[in-house]
Structure 1
Amino acid sequence: MPRVGLFITCVNDALFPETPKAVVTILERLGYDVDFPAAQTCCGQMHANSGYKKDAAKLARNFEAVFDPYDAIVTPSGSCAAMARDQCPHLTGSTIGRRVYELSEFLLDVAGVEDVGARFPHTVTYHPTCHGTRALGLGDKPIRLLRAVAGIELIDLPAAEQCCGFGGTFALKNSEVSSAMLADKCRHATDTGAEYLAAADNSCLTHIGGGISRLGRTPGAAKAPRPVHYAEILASTA
C-alpha cells in the first residue's frame, strides 16, 4: 500500500477538526496507515490568489518538503488540492501535485473503493464546489461515494454547479455579488427539504452555513439543511 500523508488544510485545522479525523477513520477502515506530518502549514493558496507570489512560493516549498516522503497526499479540500496540483508547479517547479488527491479521487482512483462501509440514514443534498468541479474535474466522484452509503437519501440540488459566492478573498472584495450568489445557493438548498447539505470544501460550507443561519432567523422561514463535509458522512456508521 502507498505511504499516505494527511494534508489537513488551514480551515480544517482551525475550525473543522472532525473532517480530517473522518478522513483518517475512512482510510484506516480500508486498511491504510495514515501519517499526519505536524510540520505542515498553509499551502499558500490564499497568498497566490491575492498576488503575493513570493510568500506563496515560500509556503509551497515548505509544503513540498513536508510531504515529499509520501507516495500519496490525501486532503478533504478540493481548493487546496487544486493549489498543489495547478499552482505549485508555476511557483516552485515541483511536481509533487501529481501525488496530491482530494479524498474522493484517492478512494475511487487509487483504493478502487466505492462503498466505504458507511451508514447515514438521512436526507442529503450535495453542492459540487468550484475547485473540485472546475479545477480538479471531480465530476460525480463524491456523489458516487455518497450513493453507496447505507440508509442515505440523496436529493438533487437545483442549479448545483452555480458558485456559492465564497471564492476566498472574492467574498471580501466583491461582497455584494458574493451575497447575491450566496442567497441563491441558500434558497436552492433550503428548497430541497434535505436535512444535510454536503460538499467537498469546508470553506464553502462555512459561507453557505452563515447564509443559512441568517435565513433561519427569518420568521416563517423553512427549515434549512445542516452543512456537513461529505467525509464525515462517509465516516459515519450510525
Structure 2
Amino acid sequence: MSGEILIVIPARHASQRYPGKPLATLRGAGGAAKTLIERSWDAAKRVASGTRVVVASDSDEILDAARGFGAEAIFTSSACRNGTERCAELLGRLDSEPDIVVNLQGDAPLIPDYFVESLIAAMQADASVEVTTPVVRCTRTLFDKLVADEKKNIVGGTFGAISTGGNAHYFSKRIIPHFDADKADDNNLPVLLHIGLYAYRPAALRKYVASQPSALEQLEGLEQLRFLDLGVGIRTIEVQSPEWEIWELNNPSDIPHIEQSLKIMGLD
C-alpha cells in the first residue's frame, strides 16, 4: 500500500527485569483493568497517521492476548535482541512494504500521539531522513536531580548530543554535553532527554540487521548507536513534555506511577 505508515509494538515475554510484563494489568482513570500490551495498542491506535498497527512478539501468550482484544499480531523470533531488530524481522512477514515503520515500544503506553505524529511528519517532509526519534529539553529541576543521581552512579535517562540541524551526534546514558551549569539559561538548558520511540525507512532497518551490534551500542546498551556507527543519520525532533509523566513499565513498582498518569490523561 503506497504511503502506508506501519506502527509496530515489539513485545517479549522474557524480560530480565520483569518477565511477562506485557501481560501486567494497569488500571485506568475509571478503574478499568487492561494489560500493558493492550494499553500500548490503544496508544498506537490514537495516532491519526498510522494506517496499520501490529503487535510483534516471540510469545504465543502475548500474541493470543493481543488477538483477544482485536489486534493484528505476528510472530517474530526470540533471536531479536531489541525492538529495532524485531521491527526489521517483521518486514519480511508482511504482504506489503510500508513507507515508514514506527517502533512504539510495548512498555511505554503513555507516549503522546503528537510525539509519533512529529516523527512521521518529519520523514514525510524530507525523503532523505532515514530515522527519526524524539527528544525533550531538560528542566533545571530535573537536571539537578539527574546530576545528583549520576554522582551516585544511578542512571536516570538517555541523553543526546545534537547538531543545530537536529541530527544526532551521539547518545549516552551519561549527561551530555558538558557545559557550565552555573552560567546556563534555566529555561533553555542544552540537555536533551531521548525518548525511546523511533520511525525508520525500511532500507535503514535492513541495513541495521545486516550488521552485528557495534562496540558503542553494547557498551552503552543503546540500540540506536548501531545506526550512527553505520553512518545512518538519526534526525531528532524536539517535542514538548506532556502534562503527565512518561513512565515505562520496567518493574512492578512502576505500576502506580503509570496508573497515575493514566488518570491525568483521562484514560479508563
- Superposition TM-score, scaled by structure 2 size: 0.27
More RCO (CA 8 Å, sep 6+): 2
- Superposition TM-score, scaled by structure 1 size: 0.30
